[in-house]
Each structure stands twice: as C-alpha cells, then as structure tokens.
C-alpha cells in the first residue's frame, strides 16, 4: 500500500461530539480537497461517532479504518483515516495515538487540531515554511480568531506562566488580571499588529503544526495529564531538547470555542483535571515541591471544592 499522497496529516481528536468533527473536516476539505490527509482519533465514544463520520464522507472521499488496540488496518489509500481507541485517555493520550499513526505512515508535517476549530482561507504553507526555515522549531501555531471572526483568541500566543499566575488565572484571582499584566502575558494584547513570524513561549493546543521527526524525537505529549497544560508541558520538553514554539500571525483559523469537552460542560472532570494537571506540571516540569504547587493552585482547588459542595447540595434537594 502507498498511504502517503501528501506531506501533511491533520489529527483531530473526537469524543462523542461527532457533529463538530464533521463540521471541522468539512471546512478542511473545502480548502484542501486533495492536498492533506485527515486522521480522526475517537476516544472510545459510545454514540457511534466514527460511523457517523464515515457516513458523512465515504461517498465523496476515501475513508479508512485503523483499530489501535488490535493494530488492525482496513484501508488501501485514504483521505480520512478513522482510528478507534478502546478507552478515553484524554487529550495527550488520544493525540499521541494520532501523531504516532501519522508518523508511521510517513507524513512529514503533523497538525494537531481541535474539532471546534474551522479553516477559513487557511494557507498551510505559511506554517510548514516556518518549520523548514527554523531548525529549532518544534511546532508553529497560527493566529486564532473567536467565533465572531473579529476578536483574537489571545491564547494563541502567550508567555510562560509565573508561579503567581496560577492563582491569578483562577476564579479567585481574576481581579488581578490587570491591563498591564494582560499585555505582559498575551503577545497579541501587547502588540495586536504583529505581522511576522516570532518565537513565543506558548501557542494554543487548539492548533499546532509539528515537524514529524522533531516531535518524535522529543517524545510527543506527556501522558501524565488527562486534560489541560499539555502545551505548557510540551514547551518544557521542547526547551530541554533545544527546540522552541513559533507563532505565525499571517496564517489564521477560527476557534469557535471550547467545545471539545462540551459533553462534560463546566463539570467535575474539567475542574479536577485543571487542578491535578497544574500540580503535575509544576512538580514534574517546573521543579516545585508538592506543597508549593498546591499553594499556587489553591484558587483552582477552592473553586473545585465549592463546585462539588454546590453540586452535592443540589442533588440533596
């Protein structure tokens, strides 16, 4: 078989919300009907997600299957490859499966893309050229607009968080998010007119284009988290291996919102994951003690506890 017809594979993680995944794929195919391959990794959905995705595209493009647990493959050539995980291991685990499958098939560039992200006049060469031009680039991210297509998603380029930022970014520390701090933390807040490629501390996990060989060398995402801080941890891994993140403001996508976890909404799993991932990141990758990490994450912890108390009261009524 000759699986690689193009150099770029786009990895999309799906968990139950196949309608968003279908919309995302539609936006890609409108821009690049033949030039990219798409790898959809389903994190053990129980609602027939992959069947719905296959039904939406099988009559107009080539769709194949890869069963991760069995290492079983059902395809000859494909535009869309559907990968079925047997359990939901979260963002890092799911995307690592897609990255490893795409790498094994010989793709040169690997994009991790949230399924709530839409292509709109996206020029992928603007991203791959950065990886070619800068040998220290592990990955590059585009500018992201919100659903209104006018407002920046400031998370697409930001600074490495200070320890105090972990409290500042919690519910209880939101009053400390001054305009001065915002300009220091978000690159686009300081300079909305950025028009050139530049190294940044962090890009958004909603869209990351990797050089396949470099991300394989670094070792992919750290699977010690279920949700949150994946790109922060990867930035630390990149630094230790002599690589950096880059921001390409001349390429844009639309990030319609945090719909990846819409089935959990504002829930116990997201709050627990946010707290535990922050503590994990600080202790393992920033070298803080467990006590210090918990202290800086106290805002996340308190909000989680208040939510659980309120939830318990509501159930008791």
Q: What are phi and psi of 147, to 5 degrees?
A: -60, -25
pLDDT at 269 over 80: yes
d(CA 125, CA 46): 37
SS3 281: helix
Question: 226-237 pLDDT, tens per residue?
Answer: 999 999 999 999
Selection from 67, 66, 68, 56 nearest residue 28 by Cα: 56
Mention every residue, 6+ apart, whose C-beta is less than 8 A from residue 235: 160, 201, 202, 245
Residues pairing with 64 in the sheet: 81
CA dist 283 → 192, 277, 293 (Å): 34, 10, 7
d(CA 298, CA 292): 10
Question: 167-197 pLDDT, tens per residue?
Answer: 999 989 989 999 999 999 999 999 999 999 9
Average pLDDT over residues 37-53: 95
Which structure tokens are listed for 191?
A: 């300079």
Question: 242-253 pLDDT, tens per residue?
Answer: 999 999 999 999
Question: 49-64 pLDDT, tens per residue?
Answer: 999 999 999 998 999 9
Evaluate whether 145 touches 252 at the Cβ level (below 8 Å): yes
Residues pairing with 65 in the sheet: 74, 82
Question: What ranges make up the beta strands (E) of the chain?
Answer: 8-14, 37-43, 63-67, 72-74, 80-85, 109-113, 117-118, 137-145, 198-200, 207-211, 244-255
d(CA 141, CA 152): 14
Average pLDDT over residues 108-120: 96
Q: How many CB atoms lie within 10 A of CB 1?
A: 10
d(CA 109, CA 7): 6
pTM: 0.92
Q: What are phi and psi of 23, to 5 degrees?
A: -65, -40
Evaluate whether 69 touches 86 at the Cβ level (below 8 Å): yes
Average pLDDT over residues 192-218: 97
The pLDDT of residue 72 is 60
Average pLDDT over residues 272-301: 97
């Amino acid at each position: 078989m000759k699986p690689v017809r193009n150099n770029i594979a786009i990895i999309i993680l799906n968990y139950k919300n196949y309608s968003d995944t279908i919309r995302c794929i539609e936006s890609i195919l409108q821009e690049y009907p033949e030039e990219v391959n798409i790898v959809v990794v389903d994190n053990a959905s129980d609602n027939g997600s992959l069947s719905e995705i296959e039904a939406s595209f099988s009559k107009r493009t080539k769709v194949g299957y890869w069963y991760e647990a069995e290492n079983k493959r059902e395809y000859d050539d494909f535009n869309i490859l559907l990968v079925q995980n047997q359990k939901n291991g979260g963002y890092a685990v799911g995307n690592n499966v897609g990255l490893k499958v795409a790498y094994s098939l010989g793709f040169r560039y690997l994009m991790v893309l949230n399924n709530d992200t839409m292509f709109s006049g996206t020029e992928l060469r603007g991203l791959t050229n950065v990886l070619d031009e800068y040998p220290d680039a592990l990955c590059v991210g585009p500018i992201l607009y919100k659903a209104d297509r006018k407002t920046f998603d400031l998370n697409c380029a930001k600074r490495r968080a200070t320890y105090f930022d972990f409290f500042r970014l919690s519910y209880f520390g939101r009053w400390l998010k001054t305009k001065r701090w915002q300009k220091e933390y978000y690159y686009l807040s300081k300079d909305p007119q950025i028009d050139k490629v530049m190294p940044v501390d962090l890009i958004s996990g909603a869209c990351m284009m990797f050089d396949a060989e470099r991300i394989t060398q670094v070792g992919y995402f750290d699977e010690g988290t279920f949700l949150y801080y994946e790109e922060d941890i990867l930035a630390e891994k990149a630094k230790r291996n002599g690589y950096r993140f880059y921001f390409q403001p001349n390429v844009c996508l639309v990030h319609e919102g945090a719909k990846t976890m819409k089935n959990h909404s504002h829930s116990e799993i997201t709050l627990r994951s946010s707290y535990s991932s922050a503590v994990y990141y600080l202790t393992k990758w920033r070298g803080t003690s467990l006590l210090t990490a918990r202290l800086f994450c106290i805002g996340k912890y308190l909000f989680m506890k208040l939510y659980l108390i309120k939830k318990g009261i509501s159930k008791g009524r």
